[in-house]
Amino acid sequence: MVSRYRAALLALIALMAFTALSSAQDVPTLRYFTWEVAQRGPEGEAAERALLDECAAEIGINVELESLVTPDFFQRVSALAAAGDLPDVFGVSSGTIDEWAADGLLLNIQKYVDRDIKPIQDKYFTGPFSTARYPKPDGDMFAFPYAIIHTVLWYNMDAFDAAGVPYPSEDGWTWDEFLAAAQALTVDKDDDGRIDQYGFWLYRGRYAQIEPWVYQNNGDLLNATKTRFEPDDNAIAALKFLTSLVTEYKVAPPPSEFAGFRMQDVFPLGYAAMWVDGNWQIANTRSQHADNPDISFRFAAAPIPRGTNWVKDVAYGWADMFGIAADTPYPDQAWELIKCLTGPRRTVQLSFAGKIPVWRATAESEEWLELDKLPPNKSFLLDWAQFIGPTTYTPGWSEWRGYADGAGLEGLIDAVLEGDLEFADMLSQATEKANSVLTRLYPEG
C-alpha cells in the first residue's frame, strides 16, 4: 500500500516536472538589442531590465537584452545581418531605416499599426511616424518610434548675463542677432591673449551641427527626390555662414583646439557660451555640472537662428525607433514587446533626458517637464518639435555624410574649419563623394 502510494507520488512529481519543463520550453525567448541602455549607464540598464521583465511577464515571453553605444551599434547590426542572426527586436535610426527596409531586414508592421495604434493615435505624438515609412513619404511603416529627437541651440544664461546680452527669443532670432551675441560672448577673461570663452562651439561638419542651419535658411543639401547631393543656394549660404564663424569671425574655435575633449563637453565645461546639438544633451550637461560644481551654470534652449532666406521655422528632427527582424519566428510577440516598450509603461525614467517620448501623456507630464530643474524652459522642446521637417537621411547616408568614420561631407567641412581646404573645393569634393554613393544606390537619378 505504502509502496504503491510512494510510486504514485513519484509519478506525480515527475509529471509536474515534465509539465514545467515543457512549459518553459514553450515560452519563446526574444533577443532585444538597443543603443539606449548603453547611453544611460547602470541605472538605466536596471530600469530597462525592470520594464522588460514586466512586459515579458504580460506577453508570456523571455527577453535577452544587449546594448551598444552608437555608432558601434550600427556596425554590430550590419554584422549580425550578414550572418543571418538579427535580434528579434532592435533599434532603428532615421539614418538606417530606408537602407535596412530596402535590404529586407525589417518586418512590415503596417497591419499591426492599423489594428492597434490608429484607433488610439491621439495618445501619441504621430509627427515622427513618417520617419518610419518606406518608401518615403507614403509607404508602410517598417519601425515604430519611441522618442522624438531634434536639435536646438543651447546657451549659457550666466555668460549672457555677464556680457549684458539679451537671451535668445523663443519666438525666433536671426543670424545677425546670433553673430552679435557670439562676438560679445567671445572673451579673453584674463588678458593673456588666449580666448577663454568662445561665443559658439561648432563641432566639425557633423549632421546635428550643420543641417539645422540649412533648413532654417530655407535650404536643402539634396535634390527633391533625395537621390543626389545638390546643395541649393540657400544651403550653400548656410554652410558659408557656419564656416565663417571659425575662419573669419573667430567666434568659434577650429575643432582641433579641443581635440582632447569629447565634443559634447566643451559647452557644459564653459569653454563656449552656445552650441547646437540634440535635445538629449540635457543629460550630459547636468552630469558634467554634477561632477564639476565649480563650473556649473544656468543653461537654456533656444531656436536655431533664422537665416537671411528664412521663410518658416523648420526644426531638424527625427525619431528613434524599434524594428522587428523580417525573419523573426515570433512577429506577434515582437510587436507586443514594442507596444509595451513605447506606450504608457515607458516612464520618464526610461526617457534619456530631453528626448521626447512618443506617448503624449508622458511627454506632457510635470515629471518629464521637470519644472524644478535646468533648463528652465524644457517645455520649449515640445514647442520646437511641432516644426520638424525634412532631413538628409538616405540609403548610404552614413557613408556620404561621414557619420561613422568622419569622412565624406563631415570630414571635408572639418578641413575648411582647420584652414586646410578652400570652401569651393570642399563643395566640389563633397558633391563628387556623395554622388558616387547615391549614384550607386540610385542609378537612374
Q: Are 219 and 150 in contact (CB under 8 A)?
A: no
What grid cell was written down for 165?
546680452
Higher pLDDT, 380 or 23: 380
Q: What is the CATH number of the domain that holds 228?
A: 3.40.190.10
Number of domains in the chain: 2
Residue 11 pLDDT grade (very low, low, confident, very high; cuts 50, 70, 90): very low
Give the pLDDT of residue 33: 98
Instruction: Spell out the residues 6+ positions from residue 31 whose beta carbon is closer than 8 angstroms to its own.
Output: 63, 64, 66, 87, 88, 89
Q: What is the pLDDT of residues 339-380, one digit of tens each?
A: 999 999 887 777 667 899 999 999 999 999 999 999 999 999
Q: What is the pLDDT of residues 238-276, one digit of tens each?
A: 999 999 999 999 999 999 999 999 999 999 999 999 999
What grid cell was written down for 73?
551599434
Mean pLDDT of the chain: 92
Angle, helices 423-441 vs 408-417, to 10°: value is 180
pLDDT beyond 70 at 21: no
Q: What is the pLDDT of residues 85-108, one digit of tens each?
A: 999 999 999 989 999 999 999 999
Residue 6 pLDDT grade (very low, low, confident, very high; cuts 50, 70, 90): low
Reported as type and span, the H/E element at residue 401 is: helix 397-401
Instruction: Spell out the residues 6+ positions from residue 109 whose beta carbon is closer than 8 angstroms to its own.
Output: 140, 141, 142, 143, 144, 323, 324, 335, 338
Q: What is the pLDDT of residues 407-433, one digit of tens each?
A: 899 999 999 999 999 999 999 999 999
Asked whether residue 259 is assigned to any structural domain, the reply reads: yes
Looking at the structure, tell me whether residues 129 and 205 fall in a common domain: no
Give the pLDDT of residue 350: 73
Looking at the structure, tell me whether residues 431 and 345 fall in a common domain: no
Asked whether residue 382 is assigned to any structural domain, the reply reads: no
Looking at the structure, tell me whether residues 200 and 141 fall in a common domain: no
Asked whether residue 278 is assigned to any structural domain, the reply reads: yes
Distance of CA 392 to the CA centre of its chain: 14
Percentage of the chain lying above the pLDDT 70 cut: 94
Global pTM reads 0.90
Give the pLDDT of residue 380: 98
Looking at the structure, tell me whether residues 177 and 258 fall in a common domain: yes
Asked whether residue 10 is assigned to any structural domain, the reply reads: no
Asked whether residue 12 is assigned to any structural domain, the reply reads: no
Q: Kindly list the distances between the CA atom of residue 264 and the CA atoms of 152, 261, 349, in Å, as whole numbers in the listed order.
A: 14, 8, 22
Looking at the structure, tell me whether residues 265 and 294 fall in a common domain: yes
Give the pLDDT of residue 71: 86
Looking at the structure, tell me whether residues 208 and 261 fall in a common domain: yes
Residue 23 pLDDT grade (very low, low, confident, very high; cuts 50, 70, 90): very low
Looking at the structure, tell me whether residues 84 and 134 fall in a common domain: yes
Looking at the structure, tell me whether residues 193 and 67 fall in a common domain: no
Q: Is 288 helix (H, G, I), strand (E, B) or coil?
A: helix
Q: What is the pLDDT of residues 152-196, one digit of tens each?
A: 999 999 999 999 999 999 999 999 999 999 999 999 999 999 999
